[in-house]
A and B are shown apart, each in its own frame.
Chain A
């Protein structure tokens, strides 16, 4: 599963970790995040994320 980076603030969504503070279980792919999920650090929506360079 691929990591995604927030274009606005640089937060990295790591599917292995998920976003448990906001109800997203570890192991959740970025594509499977709910549509109303927002960046936990700067509040922008999913469409402001890009795949991380690895």
Chain B
């Protein structure tokens, strides 16, 4: 099944309803690998799909044009979910020239035997005329790899945005107005948080570079195509590139014998009493994928771990390592947790929060064995302090604020 974006510009990708693990990202709603075919005096395939679905891609292309008529394969990004089918595509379309940038060529040559491939190297400002349509190229390094590039069709005001504005979201509808918008925006947020949150500055630069283009449709390489709600996704990206904090407190915890759970609940109660959004997040019940999404727009975070073997519990270790790499901005918080005969858990968490550039609001909040009434009261006060700081941070970073 193919879908028309404009006359002779079609989606020819693959809807992956079953994928649930995308290199550790829990893709609860599946995904799509979007490829597009632009037919004109010359024909260009823009990107491909994950290797196992090469046959579906070729079937889609050949339903629209003979494979011998594909003159170009534009590669906007070398990651295998988009380039995996290239060997099969170039075998089926041996006359096709690969159009990409120099960095992408280097990565593709690392992944595949490219000795027989024909290349046309392009960079920002270059364009390729297909006849009545033009492909213009914009290099957008680190959105999401060094080679990442976007392709613009000025005649249709269409931007093939690669990973930018994407979502891991399998659906029957190909367009944003054919699917529940809040669900699609949530998946766009999850995608941003888990895939490209660490690249806020390069994404800001790409947004600025793209703002000079007249854009009427954004066709990313995952998820639905934006044609009716571009304003919503672009506004959301402006918030996400700076991890703009909302008045939201996140209490993340992991407990051995429920003492740290009691502390977490008291911190959360203290935050709730200040009238902000406050969430309890037990690492044993949740995924790192959801954690990153919740962190993106949180203002303050309390993170608790019981002490195990003189350090933190292992789910906290994994989650904090993941979060540190994602480099969230503008967060403040502190660590807490219980210990038995010796300390270590909360201090280890505090150290990782500091390494993640979370502004530390206090010393680790600790208790031995079970929290006393006094400790729980201190937890409630600390929760209220987190809430007040969340309100303050979100006010500071409002547009024009």
Contact = CB atoms under 8 A, between A and B. Distances in A.
B199 A41 contact: yes
Contacts of A21: 357
A26 B397 CA distance: 25
A38 to B, nearest CB: 12
A42 B357 contact: no
B142 interface: yes
B146 A9 contact: yes
B202 interface: yes
Given A41-B142, A42-B142, A42-B146, A9 B357 contact: no
A54 B52 CA distance: 47
Contacts of B201: 41
A21 B328 CA distance: 13
A10 interface: yes
B202 A41 contact: yes
Interface string B196-233: 00010110000000000000000000000000000000
Contacts of A8: 103, 141, 146
B379 to A, nearest CB: 32
B72 to A, nearest CB: 25
What interface size band does chain B fall in?
Answer: under 10
Interface string A22-53: 00000000000000000001100000000000
A39 to B, nearest CB: 10
Nearest to B200: A41
A52 B278 CA distance: 47
A26 B142 CA distance: 25
A15 B199 CA distance: 22
A42 B146 CA distance: 8
Nearest to B201: A41
A10 B357 contact: no
A10 B147 CA distance: 11
Nearest to A10: B141
Contacts of B142: 9, 41-42
Contacts of B141: 8-10, 42
B351 to A, nearest CB: 16
B326 to A, nearest CB: 12
Nearest to A21: B357
Contacts of A41: 142, 199, 201-202
A41 B205 CA distance: 12
Contacts of A10: 141, 146
B115 to A, nearest CB: 24
Contacts of B202: 9, 41
A21 B359 CA distance: 12
A49 to B, nearest CB: 13
A41 B146 CA distance: 10
A8 to B, nearest CB: 5
Nearest to A40: B201
Interface string A1-29: 00000001110000000000100000000
A9 B148 CA distance: 10
Nearest to B148: A9
Nearest to B205: A10
B199 to A, nearest CB: 7
A10 B123 CA distance: 13
Contacts of B357: 21
A41 B148 CA distance: 14
A21 B329 CA distance: 11
Contacts of B199: 41
Interface in B145-175: 146
Given A10-B146, A42-B141, 15 more contacts: A8-B103, A8-B141, A8-B146, A9-B141, A9-B142, A9-B146, A9-B202, A10-B141, A21-B357, A41-B142, A41-B199, A41-B201, A41-B202, A42-B142, A42-B146
17 contacts: A8-B103, A8-B141, A8-B146, A9-B141, A9-B142, A9-B146, A9-B202, A10-B141, A10-B146, A21-B357, A41-B142, A41-B199, A41-B201, A41-B202, A42-B141, A42-B142, A42-B146
Going nearest first, the 5 A-B pairs with the smallest beta carbon separation are: A9-B141, A8-B146, A9-B146, A9-B142, A10-B141
